[in-house]
Amino acid sequence: MSNQLPFWLKPHVSFLNKDSMHHAFLISGRKGVGKSQLVHYLSAFILCNDIDIDVCGNCSSCKFSSLESHPDYHELLVLPDKKLIGISQIHDLRNKLYESSFLGKNKVASLVDIEKISMDGLNAVLKILEEPPKNTFFFLTTNFLNQIPLTIQSRSLDIKIDPPNLEETLDWLTDYPKEDVLKALRLNDNLPLAAKHFLDEGLLKIRDDFISDISGIIKEGKDMTVLSNRWINEEDSLNIKLEWMSLLLSDTIKFNADEAKDTINPDTDNISKYLSKHSNIEKLHQLLNKTNSLWNLFSRETNLRKDYQLNSLFVDWERDLGISKKI
pLDDT tens-digit profile, the chain (327 residues): 556 899 999 999 887 777 778 999 999 999 899 999 999 999 999 998 887 677 888 888 888 867 888 999 999 998 877 889 999 999 999 999 999 999 988 999 999 999 999 999 999 999 999 999 999 999 999 999 999 999 999 999 999 999 999 999 999 999 999 999 999 999 888 999 999 999 999 999 999 999 999 988 877 777 788 888 899 999 899 999 999 999 999 999 988 887 666 677 889 989 998 888 888 899 999 999 999 999 988 887 767 788 999 999 998 988 888 765 444
CB 266 within 8 A of CB 186: yes
pLDDT of res. 325? 47
Q: What are phi and psi of 108, to 5 degrees?
A: -130, 135
Domain covering 2-162 assigned CATH 3.40.50.11540 in the classification: no
pLDDT of res. 49? 84
Type of residue at 70: H
Dihedral sign for Cα 222, 234, 315, 279, please: negative
Q: Which CATH architecture has domain 201-321?
A: Up-down Bundle (1.20)
State which H helix or E strand residue 107 sits in.
Answer: strand 107-111
Two domains, one topology: 2-162 and 201-321: no
Dihedral sign for Cα 314, 200, 61, 40, please: negative
CA distance 191 to 194: 6
Tell which residue, 269, 318, 273, 312, has the closest CA to residue 293.
Answer: 312
Domain extents for the chain? 2-162, 201-321
Q: What is the DSSP letter of 133?
A: P
